[in-house]
Structure 1
Amino acid sequence: MSGFQMPKPVLAIEGLTVSFDGFKAVDDLNLYLDRNEVRVVIGPNGAGKTTVLDLICGKTRATGGSIQFDGRELTKMKEFDIVRAGVGRKFQNPSIYENLSVFENLEMSYPAGRKVFGALFFKRSAEVIARVEEIAAEIGLTGQLYSEAGLLSHGQKQWLEIGMLLMQDPELLMLDEPVAGMSVSERAQTAELLKRISQGRSVLVIEHDMEFVKSIAHKVTVLHQGKVLAEGSMEAVQSNPKVIEVYLGH
C-alpha cells in the first residue's frame, strides 16, 4: 500500500486565530474539509461559527494561522479573488433582487457578467439560458423562472440565493443557517437540495436545527469559545459529554 496517498482536503484550516480587542473569537482552530463532503458546524452563540466563514471568505482578516483552499493560501487574498478561486457564501438573510425575475437573478450571477465591462456587454447566449434553466431545475424553481423574486416564499428565496451561488460553480459552498424560518416541508426540500449540490463540491453549513443537521451532515464539528470541542458523526457528537454540557444540554 506504499503507493497509496490520502486525498488532500479541499480546505485545510490550521492554527487559525482572530482577536477582536484582545478577545479571541477564533482560537488556534484546525479544520479539514474533504471533497464532496457536507460538514456542519454547530455550537452555542458566540462560539465563533460565523467568524470562521468570515475568515474563509476574506471578510475578516486572521491574526494568525493559515487557510489553504485547493493549495492556495486564502488569508492573503482579496474577497473577490477568493470568490473567483471557487468559494461561494450565502449569508443568513437572502440578498436577492426582489423586483427582478428568478431568471434575471440567476442570469446576473453568471460569471461572465462579473468581469469589468462584462455586465454592460452581457449577451443572453444559449449557453447562459441553458445554465439558468439547469440551475433552476436543481433548486426546484423551474415553474417560477419568470415570476418576480419578491413573490417567492421565504424558503424559495433561500433556494434562489443558493442557485445564484451555484451559477458560479463554486468548489466550496458555505451556508449560514440555511433553514432558519423555513416550514417543515421546505426544510426537507432543502436537505434534498444540499445532498444534490454536494455531488462534485464541498459544502460547509452552520446550523442550529439538529434534525436538519442529522439529515445532511457527513461530519459535524462542534465549536466552543473559538475552538473545536468535538468532531465526528452526529451520533458521536450528540453523545459526547462535553458537548451535552456546553451546548445540547441547554
Structure 2
Amino acid sequence: MSETDYMLAVEGLTVSFDGFRAVDDLTFYVDRNEIRVIIGPNGAGKTTVLDLICGRTKASAGSIKFQNEELRTLKEHQIVRRGVGRKFQTPSIYDDLTVFENLEISFPRGRGVFGALAFRRDAEVRDRVEEVAKTIFLADALQRRAEFLSHGQKQWLEIGMLLIQQPSLMMLDEPVAGMSVAERKKTAELLHTITAGRSVLVVEHDMGFVEDIAHRVTVMHQGKILSEGTLAHVKADQRVVDVYLGH
C-alpha cells in the first residue's frame, strides 16, 4: 500500500464476531480538513468502525492508516498519542470538577502518573484552557461545576477535552443526540470551526445536522458501504432511500 495524502486511509477493513461480519471489507478515505459523516440503519457497523480505528476492537483483516502510519498494531493509548481523539455517545466528563478543571486535566502534559505529579498550572495551560473554552461556547462557565451544565454544554465540554489534546483526527459518535435545535446549530458551527487543520469523522442519525456539517457522507448497511459522496448524491441513491431514508 502506497503513501497517500489522506488523513485517514481505511482499506479492506473487516471484523467478525462469532462468524458474523460486523464490518465487511470496508474501504474509505478521509481528506485533511474534511468532515465525514457515516450514516446508516442500526446495526450497520458504524460505531464498530470507530472502535476499530481507535483500537478498542481489533480488526480481522485490512489496514487503517492515519497520516500514513498503520494503526492496527498499536494499542488504544498509543493511537491517542498519535493524534486520534474519540468521543463516545454518552459524555464522560467529571461532574464534580469545574469546566476549567475538566479541560485542564485533559491537557497532554497532565497524562499519566508522572505527568500528573509534575503538572503545573502555568500560563500555557491557562491560555489553552481559555482558548478552548471560548471555542466550545463555555468561556463564561469556566468556574461552573460540570454537573450544572445543560446536556448540550456537557457534550461541548467533552469535545473541548478532546480539542485541548490537539488531535489531527476527531471521531464523534452521535454528538447532537438529545440536544435542542439551537444547541444542534451551535454544534454544527463548532465542528466547522475545528476542522481547520484537522479532520472530523462523525456517526450521526439526525439528517438536519448531517446537512449542516457534512462535506462527504458514507452510507453503511450490513457492514459494507452502500453509497458515498455528497449528501445530495446519497439522498438521490434509491438503495439508500430503500434501506435507510425511507424509514
| C-alpha RMSD of matched pairs (Å) | 1.0
Does residue 32 (structure 1) correspond to residue 29 (structure 2)? The answer is: yes
Partner of 2:239: 242
Aligned partner of 1:230 among 212, 219, 227: 227
CA–CA distance in structure 2, aligned partners of residues 60 and 35 of structure 1: 24
Moved over 2 A (4+): none
Does residue 79 (structure 1) correspond to residue 76 (structure 2)? The answer is: yes
Give, as a single letter, the amino acid of the residue that structure 1 aligns with 2:106.
S
Does residue 221 (structure 1) correspond to residue 218 (structure 2)? The answer is: yes
SS at match of 1:117: helix
Aligned partner of 1:70 among 46, 67, 74: 67
Give, as a single letter, the amino acid of the residue that structure 1 aligns with 2:109.
A
Aligned partner of 1:142 among 136, 139, 144: 139
Does residue 15 (structure 1) correspond to residue 12 (structure 2)? The answer is: yes
Give, as a single letter, the amino acid of the residue that structure 2 aligns with 1:52.
V
Deviation at 1:122, TM superposition (A): 1.1
The percentage of aligned residue pairs carrying the same residue is: 67
Does residue 41 (structure 1) correspond to residue 38 (structure 2)? The answer is: yes
Does residue 164 (structure 1) correspond to residue 142 (structure 2)? The answer is: no
CA–CA distance in structure 2, aligned partners of residues 19 and 151 of structure 1: 42
Partner of 2:93: 96
CA–CA distance in structure 2, aligned partners of residues 244 and 203 of structure 1: 25
* CA displacement, residues 81-135 of structure 1 (integer Å, 9 cap, x when unaligned): 0000000000000000000000000000000001441112210010000000000
CA–CA distance in structure 2, aligned partners of residues 121 and 152 of structure 1: 30
Partner of 2:170: 173
Does residue 199 (structure 1) correspond to residue 196 (structure 2)? The answer is: yes
Partner of 1:3: none
TM-score if structure 2 supplies the norm length? Answer: 0.98
* CA displacement, residues 133-176 of structure 1 (integer Å, 9 cap, x when unaligned): 00000001000000001000000000000000001000000000
Deviation at 1:7, TM superposition (A): 6.7
* CA displacement, residues 51-81 of structure 1 (integer Å, 9 cap, x when unaligned): 0000000000000000000111111000000
CA–CA distance in structure 2, aligned partners of residues 124 and 41 of structure 1: 38
CA–CA distance in structure 2, aligned partners of residues 116 and 36 of structure 1: 33
